[in-house]
């Protein structure tokens, strides 16, 4: 995992009923090749670990990380408080992982059909499969890929 941010940041809150509490970062921390919502992050807020969160765009040159009430309660912080943040990028593979190749090869003819897809289509499938942390979701998505290839 790649370290994106380490430092002290202010907890802020969107105004209005139900407004989210968040930590704001300059959008420059985002690798240019990643679309908002596709990059998962993990890290710590004041020594409280979290995983699988998504950075969200603010539309003004900033992105933000929502900080839910259970986390704020655990760290004893609210809007206006400063938190120490360590933020890491969780990678979605940019090449077809060997485990996916093995699954495709286990089903006769599917690897060859997958290889006939365009590069953007392959990338879209890899991002779709590996954007979940749950093994069940990944397995279900691989099955969907195999079924889609079977229809061709």
Residue 152's pLDDT is what?
A: 60
C-alpha 145: how far from chain center: 21
Mean of pLDDT values over 87-99: 83
Q: How is the beta sheet containing 62-66 ordered, strand by strand?
A: 48-54, 40-45, 82-90, 2-13, 21-26, 62-66, 56-57
Q: Same domain for 106 and 81?
A: no
Q: Same domain for 104 and 121?
A: yes
In the structure, what pLDDT confidence band is assigned to residue 115 with cuts at 50, 70 and 90? very high
Nearest-angstrom CA–CA distance, 119 and 150: 19
Nearest-angstrom CA–CA distance, 29 and 33: 12
Q: Same domain for 9 and 72?
A: yes
Q: Same domain for 18 and 58?
A: yes
Q: Across all residues in the chain, what is the average pLDDT?
A: 86
Q: Same domain for 75 and 37?
A: yes
Residues β-bridged to residue 65 = 23
pLDDT per residue over 28-64, tens digit each? 877 654 554 556 788 999 989 988 788 888 878 888 9
Phi, psi of 79 (to 5 degrees): -50, 135
Q: Same domain for 16 and 81?
A: yes
Q: Same domain for 51 and 70?
A: yes
Q: Same domain for 12 and 31?
A: yes
Q: Same domain for 12 and 85?
A: yes
Q: Same domain for 110 and 85?
A: no
Q: Same domain for 116 and 64?
A: no
Domain count, the chain: 2
Higher-scoring residue by pLDDT: 3, 84: 84
pLDDT per residue over 141-150, tens digit each? 999 999 999 8
**Cβ-based neighbour number of residue 100 at 10 Å:** 22
| pTM: predicted TM-score of the whole model, two decimal places | 0.61
pLDDT surpasses 90 at 151:
no
pLDDT surpasses 80 at 92:
no
Read off the CATH number of the domain in which 12 is found.
2.40.30.100
H helix and E strand count, the chain: 5, 7
% of residues, the chain, pLDDT over 90: 48
Residue 69's pLDDT is what?
A: 92
Q: Same domain for 43 and 111?
A: no
Range of the domain at 117: 98-150
């Amino acid at each position: 995992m790649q370290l994106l941010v380490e430092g002290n940041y202010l907890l802020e809150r969107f105004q209005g009923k139900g407004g989210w509490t968040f930590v704001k970062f300059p959008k420059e921390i985002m690798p240019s090749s990643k679309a908002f919502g596709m990059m998962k992050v993990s890290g710590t807020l004041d020594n409280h670990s979290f995983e699988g969160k998504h950075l969200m765009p603010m539309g003004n040159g900033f992105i933000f990380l929502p900080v839910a009430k259970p986390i704020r309660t655990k760290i004893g912080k609210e809007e206006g408080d400063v938190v120490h943040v360590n933020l890491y990028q969780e990678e979605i593979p940019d090449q077809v992982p060997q485990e996916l190749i093995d699954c495709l090869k286990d089903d006769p003819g599917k690897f060859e059909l997958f290889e006939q897809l365009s590069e953007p289509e392959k990338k879209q499938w890899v991002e779709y499969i590996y954007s979940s942390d749950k093994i069940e979701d990944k397995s279900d998505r691989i099955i969907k890929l195999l079924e889609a290839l079977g229809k061709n």
